[in-house]
């Protein structure tokens, strides 16, 4: 999808939107998969309601991209524009036990920045790629914690109301890898309320989580983290492993040898390869265990 109309281009520019033509989404996702389209970088949160109206008036479909770390995007020329927040400076402001964080901020950097200010609680998320906005939307969690527990306030573009709103943490429901936000809501910023902890103690926790992650997950490889959610009381990774599917591949899409719920792009995998592999593994798990695995990875198929 391309923005060609010069008048529309000028209107976008007036809204503080930078247009990158022919952006390759494989370069913007941790899986390294995804076709091309125009990328619109938003520099002012306040311009979003007007930007959305403008795109709708021109009947231009769009999708909102966070850090691209939990995402499988289709191949070829994509039928929608991509919107993404530009990173502001500063991305994080600390005020006592509160961390005000822009949605575009990197999750790992936020964890360490807060740690340096003696604010803990988020240690489990170290090593999880992506942005704070993505972590908030998906209620990212690991090693017994989830980000939702620390959300005091969230600022978002509420698609249903066509306006920017601030919600209290108690107005949002945070479940396992799921939140009450609508699919087309856009996360803009969050205020986290974090427990005070000495930096050294947080660092210790960070080291332990890093070590656990390194020993069980394929960190150096292109992946989107876990492909399937864990069904209640079970582990998708263990089930796939028990079926001997580690190393199973379609083209360059491969079930990781290290963690069976991570599917890696071992080279030039296409979305088609990855989707075929996902469907194959899902079918085998259903046949063997009678369990229909649900996607944890978000799929934007063209
Ligand atoms: N296991 C196997 N073989 C495998 C993988 C795992 O036997 O190939 C076994 C492990 O030995 C362990 C059990 O399955 O006994 C659970 O494995 P693990 O501790 O790695 O946790 P997980 O349930 O597979 C979840 C999250 C991860 C998160 C880790 C650590 C989901 C789908 N996955 O993985 O999150 O990092 O716990 O807290 O909830 C993600 O969301 O993308 C993600 C990677």
pLDDT tens for residues 163-209? 999 999 999 999 999 999 999 999 999 999 999 999 999 999 999 99
Pocket probe mutation, ligand 1, options 128, 147, 216, max atoms within 8 Å of Cβ: 216
Q: Which of 174, 276, 285 is nearest to 231 (CA)?
A: 285
What lines the ligand 1 site, CB under 6 Å?
A: 142-143, 216, 225-226, 229-230, 235-238, 241, 259-261, 296
- Report the separation in Å between the CA atom of 295 and the middle of ligand 1, taken as the mean of its atom positions: 14
Among positive and negative, which fits the CA dihedral 181, 187, 190, 195? positive
262 CA → ligand 1 middle, Å: 9
Ligand 1 atom with minimal separation from the 236 CA: 24
Distance between Cα 183 and ligand 1 center (Å) = 26
Whether the CB-CB separation of 236 and 286 falls below 8 Å is answered with no
DSSP output for 61-75: -EEEESSSSSEEE-S
Nearest CA to ligand 1 atom 3: 238
- The residue whose CA is least distant from atom 20 of ligand 1 is 216
- Nearest protein CA to atom 26 of ligand 1, as residue: 142
Ligand 1 center–CA 246 separation, angstroms = 14
Cα of 237 from ligand 1 centre, angstroms: 6
**Residue to substitute in 139, 178, 237 for testing ligand 1 pocket (most ligand atoms within 8 angstroms of CB):** 237
Which residue lies with its CA nearest to atom 28 of ligand 1?
Answer: 142
pLDDT of residue 1: 84
Q: How far is the C-alpha of 69 from the C-alpha of 78, rounded, in Å?
A: 18
> pLDDT 10s digit of each residue in the chain, 302 long?
888 899 999 999 999 999 999 999 999 999 999 999 999 999 999 999 999 999 999 999 999 999 999 999 999 999 999 999 999 999 999 999 999 999 999 999 999 999 999 999 999 999 999 999 999 999 999 999 999 999 999 999 999 999 999 999 999 999 999 999 999 999 999 999 999 999 999 999 999 999 999 999 999 999 999 999 999 999 999 999 999 999 999 999 999 999 999 999 999 999 999 999 999 999 999 999 999 999 999 999 97
Q: Which atom of ligand 1 is nearest to the CA of 224?
A: 42
Distance 41 CA to ligand 1 centre (A): 34
- Tell me the CA–centroid distance for residue 263 and ligand 1, in Å: 13
Mutate to test the pocket of ligand 1, among 232, 235, 244 (most ligand atoms within 8 A of CB): 235
Q: Tell me: the pLDDT tens digits for 208-225?
A: 999 999 999 999 999 999
Strands (E), 74-226: 81-85, 92-95, 98-102, 141-142, 145-146, 151-158, 163-168, 174-175, 178-179, 186-193, 222-226
Q: What is the Cα–Cα distance from 75 to 26, expressed in whole angstroms?
A: 9
Interval between CA 114 and ligand 1 midpoint (Å): 26
Residue bearing the CA closest to ligand 1, atom 32: 229
The pLDDT value given to residue 4? 87
Distance CA 31, CA 28 (A): 9
Confidence at residue 302, expressed as pLDDT on a 0 to 100 scale: 75
Predicted confidence at residue 2, as pLDDT, reads 84
Nearest residue (CA) to ligand 1, atom 27: 142
Ligand 1 center from residue 288 Cα (angstroms): 20
């Amino acid at each position: 999808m391309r923005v060609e109309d010069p008048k529309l281009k000028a209107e976008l520019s007036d809204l503080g939107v930078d247009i990158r033509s022919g952006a390759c989404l494989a370069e913007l996702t941790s899986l390294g998969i995804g076709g091309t389209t125009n990328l619109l970088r938003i520099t002012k949160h306040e311009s979003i309601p007007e930007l959305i109206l403008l795109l709708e008036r021109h009947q231009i479909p769009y999708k909102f991209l966070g850090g691209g770390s939990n995402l499988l995007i289709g191949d070829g020329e994509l039928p929608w524009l991509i919107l993404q927040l530009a990173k502001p400076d500063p991305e994080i402001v600390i005020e006592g036990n509160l961390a005000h964080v822009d949605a575009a901020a990197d999750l790992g950097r936020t964890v360490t920045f807060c740690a340096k200010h003696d604010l803990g609680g988020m240690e489990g998320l170290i090593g999880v790629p992506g942005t704070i906005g993505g972590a908030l939307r998906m209620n990212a969690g690991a090693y017994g914690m989830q980000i939702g527990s620390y959300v005091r306030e969230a600022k978002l573009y509420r698609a249903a109301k066509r306006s920017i709103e601030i919600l209290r943490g108690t107005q949002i429901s945070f479940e396992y890898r799921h939140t009450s936000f609508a699919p087309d809501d856009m996360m803009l910023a969050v205020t986290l309320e974090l427990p005070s902890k000495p930096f050294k103690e947080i660092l210790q926790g960070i080291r332990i989580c890093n070590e656990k992650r390194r020993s069980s997950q394929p960190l150096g490889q292109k992946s989107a983290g876990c492909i399937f959610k864990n069904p209640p009381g079970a582990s998708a990774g263990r089930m796939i492993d028990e079926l001997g599917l580690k190393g199973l591949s379609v083209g360059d899409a491969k079930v990781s040898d290290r963690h069976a719920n991570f599917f890696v792009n071992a080279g030039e995998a296409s979305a088609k390869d990855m989707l075929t592999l996902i469907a194959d593994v899902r079918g085998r798990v259903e046949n063997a265990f009678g369990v229909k695995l649900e996607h944890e990875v978000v799929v934007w198929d063209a």
